[in-house]
Copies of this chain bind each other. A is one copy, B any other.
Amino acid sequence: MTENNMVISVDAMGGDNSPRVVIEGLAIAAKKHPDIKFLVFGDTALVNPILQRFPELAKVCELRHSAEMVHNEDKPSSVIRNRNTSMFMAIDAVRKGEAQAVVSAGNTGALMAISKLTLKTITKIHRPAIVSIMPHRFGKYVMLDLGANTECDAINLAEFAFMGEILARHALGIARPKVALLNIGSEDMKGKEEIRQAAQMIKCSKMDIDFIGFIEPHEIANGKADVIVADGFTGNIALKSIEGTAKQLTRMIKDAVKSSLLAKIGMVFMMPALWKIKKIMDPRIYNGAMFVGLNGLSVKSHGGTDALGFSYAVDNAANLIRQNFVPTIREDIEKVDFDEIQTVLYDMY
């Protein structure tokens, strides 16, 4: 066991093919991040035999036994009462300061509920949000909230904008990210009241972010903004619409190629060019949704991903730890005067 300062705790039992995919994913991540130690929670009888297949990983892993696990159908209200699951123990390690981030491929609702209960929301932030990194035509952007908060008011949205901006700086390396609110039109009067109020708040407050106003979903692909802010319902609808359409089109092209010999021949020539697109669009690269607004970092891997996908979720955690993401939000939020922001809202009426 090396004495690394950076520690990521891992729920080995979450996801469709756990603990195998989780451990294989950690093996890939460990090679990329030799300075990180992993605190792995799970059924040792199941995890250990797999871990032993990766001696290099085993050297930077500490395996701790958990007798139980969170299942996909478990309700958030019940999982928060069971401290013996691998997920609870992994998150609790962050609370105790044993790790700086937790990664799990388990039940999203459960991970958010336990993370909120255990890590607590950062002072002044009302609600945590789920953020993902996604590809646009010329690079990447972050979108939040993707489903933690079905209903949001203007203050929630303004806070998401604030946290999303910090995340884009840290995770995408953009010095001054452009922030936009997702809406159904670009004019001031368009959309829902809370979105218009949030725009007003961000504009009039002293939040030092490059706010560019409203963005419509079809403009996201053009790279107009680096941070897309929405309530959890709208963000989730947009995310699944984008992912669904990309999948459908890819499948239609595959089907069309399969049905024609000529197209199959053409495909051979086109492969190198299409390969580039496939690499840019590969959903595994964007795996690892980050929960922001908590005193600690929770990263949610897709439950159905493979080892490579899981390793990308670990990458997100590792990068944000290295960049001091959570302490930065905590410090920066201290500078924001939320009373002043509220005043802006009252002045609108």
Contact = CB atoms under 8 A, between A and B. Distances in A.
Contact of A266 (B221, B242, B259, B269): B269
A263 interface: yes
A242 B274 CA distance: 21
Interface residues of A, number: 55
Contacts of A220: 241, 244
Given A182-B237, A184-B237, A244 B273 contact: no
A335 interface: no
A52 interface: no
A143 to B, nearest CB: 11
A233 interface: yes
B266 A262 contact: no
Interface stretch (A88-96, A97-105, A198-206, A249-257): A249-257
Contact of A273 (B151, B182, B259): B259
Given A220-B244, A256-B274, 16 more contacts: A137-B248, A150-B184, A184-B240, A217-B240, A217-B241, A218-B240, A221-B245, A221-B247, A234-B237, A241-B241, A245-B245, A249-B281, A257-B270, A266-B266, A266-B271, A267-B270
In the A-B complex, list the 3 residue pairs whose CB atoms are closest, starting with the nearest. Answer: A266-B269, A218-B244, A266-B270
